[in-house]
């Protein structure tokens, strides 16, 4: 039995929540189980190795019943003892700073102009002043569509004289599984994400890979809090459990989705996102729009932020798209009307993006903007 009516379906080309396939929606509908029952322990035990493959880590991936914001708090609480350098080039980087400060952490901020990337040399210069035991940045800044070079930043930090003592914490909420991320190879201690972005699951779960080094450090940090305490999460993880009741229905969905991801293969999944990104970028430029990300090299693989150079009513555009059963996103925060964003992440395929862009072209034509060749 389903209560999903086809006429209620709106295809989400948003940078989260993203489209969830029917197979995944169905997977949530299995019979409920108790979280200390063998069935739940088997489920968790099945998930863990698959999740590590998706995260490309030999360590561990904690799962919490929260959104990604909870894992921000976890990273700040567990792994900042002295002072953390927060690098930001957008709204989400800014919000993580608020989280760290509201947890009483001493924060210094490296602020980069929106549209530009955080670069390794900037990070090294600030860390060079000394006194830091952690650095935090966003791999894929969803508000501006800029991907920061996580690999290079991590390499530069590790190459510093005291670089091995710094906990590197990365928000890959809108990146993980949609773009290259190699925590172990790149020397990143913590990578955190949410279920409703490139994972293409319903909202409600958050994940964080945590290195041994970060876990050992956490054991020495006082006041880690309760719900997001890595040490407590670890105690249960080794028994294939969680300290508190997990979101069991979402774990069913995750179990199924991990199979799909691994069947595609991570390299293929990353590549598919780049192909979708290039399609959107070329469409935007050929229609006379400008990208908000100034340098194409740093254009996000999962979300494209497009400057509203034609002064479109984004509300009307979305109104039109709704008649075609789909929706895109306006700009984030202060960029609300200045930009619009197309989410091309998760399980969308190239053909879906083409369908969206053809509809966008139709809208542009109705308001008298020449589109030339269709996408
Ligand atoms: C969406 C998002 C968040 C917030 O995640 P929630 O799951 O909504 O708490 C944090 N960082 C980035 C980069 C995001 O895109």
Round to whole Å and give the CA distance between 258 and 252: 10
% the chain with pLDDT above 90 = 95
The domain defined by 22-262 folds into 3.40.640
Ligand 1 mutation pick, 18, 64, 69, max ligand atoms within 8 A of CB: 69
User: 171 CB under 6 A from ligand 1?
Assistant: yes
pLDDT in tens, 236-261: 999 999 999 999 999 999 999 999 99
What's the pLDDT at 347? 98
What residue spans define the domains of the chain? 6-18+265-366, 22-262
Contact between 52 and 58 under an 8 Å Cβ cutoff? The reply is yes
| CA 96 to centroid of ligand 1, rounded, Å | 9
**Sorting pLDDT into bands at 50, 70 and 90, what band is 314?**
very high
- In this structure, are strands 60-64 and 83-88 parallel, antiparallel, or unpaired? unpaired
The 10 Å CB-count burial string (b at 16+, else e) for 255-286 is bbbbeebeeeebeebbebbbebbbbbbebbee
What average pLDDT does range 169-190 have in this prediction?
98
**Sorting pLDDT into bands at 50, 70 and 90, what band is 129?**
very high
User: 173 CB under 6 A from ligand 1?
Assistant: yes
- As a three-state string, the secondary structure of 169-195 is EEECCCCECCECCCHHHHCCCEEEEEC
**Sorting pLDDT into bands at 50, 70 and 90, what band is 205?**
very high
What's the pLDDT at 371? 86
Residues facing residue 179 across a β-bridge: 176
Ligand 1 mutation pick, 64, 68, 228, max ligand atoms within 8 A of CB: 68
What average pLDDT does range 184-188 have in this prediction?
98
What average pLDDT does range 129-153 have in this prediction?
98
**Sorting pLDDT into bands at 50, 70 and 90, what band is 313?**
very high
User: Where are the strands (E) in the chain, listed by range?
Assistant: 11-12, 60-64, 83-88, 106-111, 134-138, 140-141, 146-147, 167-171, 190-194, 206-210, 290-291, 303-307, 326-327, 329-330, 339-343
Write out the H or E segment, with its range, that includes residue 359.
helix 350-366
Give, using CA atoms, the residue closest to atom 6 of ligand 1. Answer: 68
* pLDDT at residue 273 greater than cutoff 90: yes
Round to whole Å and give the CA distance between 106 and 83: 5
* pLDDT at residue 355 greater than cutoff 70: yes
What average pLDDT does range 292-298 have in this prediction?
93
% the chain with pLDDT above 70 = 99
3-state secondary structure of 88: strand
**CATH code linked to domain 6-18+265-366:** 3.90.1150.10
pLDDT in tens, 1-51: 678 999 999 999 999 999 999 999 999 999 999 999 999 999 999 999 999
* pLDDT at residue 322 greater than cutoff 90: yes
User: 170 CB under 6 A from ligand 1?
Assistant: no
Round to whole Å and give the CA distance between 319 and 304: 20
What average pLDDT does range 358-366 have in this prediction?
97
| CA 327 to centroid of ligand 1, rounded, Å | 19
* pLDDT at residue 375 greater than cutoff 80: no
Q: Give CA separation, 276 vs 118, 174, 196, 301, in Å.
A: 24, 15, 19, 8
| CA 340 to centroid of ligand 1, rounded, Å | 18
What's the pLDDT at 1? 60
| CA 93 to centroid of ligand 1, rounded, Å | 10
What's the pLDDT at 339? 95
């Amino acid at each position: 039995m389903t209560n999903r009516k086809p006429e209620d379906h709106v295809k989400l080309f948003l940078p989260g929540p993203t489209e969830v396939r029917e197979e995944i929606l169905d997977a949530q509908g299995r019979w409920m189980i108790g979280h200390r029952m063998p069935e739940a322990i088997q489920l968790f035990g099945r998930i863990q190795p698959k999740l590590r493959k998706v995260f490309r880590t030999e360590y561990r991936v904690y799962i919490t019943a929260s959104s990604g914001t909870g894992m921000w708090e976890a990273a700040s609480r567990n792994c900042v003892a002295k002072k953390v350098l927060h690098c930001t080039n957008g709204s989400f980087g800014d919000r993580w700073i608020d989280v760290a400060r509201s947890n009483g952490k001493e924060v210094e901020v490296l602020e980069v102009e929106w549209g530009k990337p955080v670069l390794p040399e900037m990070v090294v210069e600030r860390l060079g002043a000394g006194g830091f035991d952690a650095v935090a940045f966003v791999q894929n800044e969803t508000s501006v569509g800029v991907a920061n070079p996580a690999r290079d930043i991590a390499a530069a930090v590790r190459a510093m004289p005291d670089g091995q003592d710094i906990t590197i914490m990365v928000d890959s909420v809108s990146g993980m599984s949609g773009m290259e991320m190699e925590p172990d190879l790149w020397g990143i201690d913590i990578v955190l994400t949410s279920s409703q972005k490139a994972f293409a699951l319903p909202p409600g779960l958050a994940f964080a890979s945590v290195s041994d080094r970060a876990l050992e450090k956490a054991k020495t940090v006082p006041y880690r809090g309760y719900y997001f305490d890595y040490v407590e999460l670890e105690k249960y993880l080794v028994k294939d459990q969680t300290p508190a009741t997990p979101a069991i229905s979402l774990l069913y969905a995750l179990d199924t989705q991990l199979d799909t991801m691994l069947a595609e293969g991570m390299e293929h999944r990353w590549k598919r996102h780049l192909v979708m990104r290039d399609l959107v970028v070329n469409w935007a430029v050929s229609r006379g729009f400008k990208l908000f990300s100034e340098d194409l090299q740093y254009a996000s693989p999962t979300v494209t932020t497009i400057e509203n150079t034609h002064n479109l009513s984004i509300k009307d555009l979305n109104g039109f798209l709704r008649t075609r059963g789909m929706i895109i996103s306006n700009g984030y925060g202060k960029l609300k009307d200045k930009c619009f964003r197309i989410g091309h992440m998760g399980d969308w395929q190239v053909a879906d993006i083409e369908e969206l862009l053809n509809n966008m072209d139709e809208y542009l034509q109705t308001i008298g903007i020449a589109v030339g060749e269709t996408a």
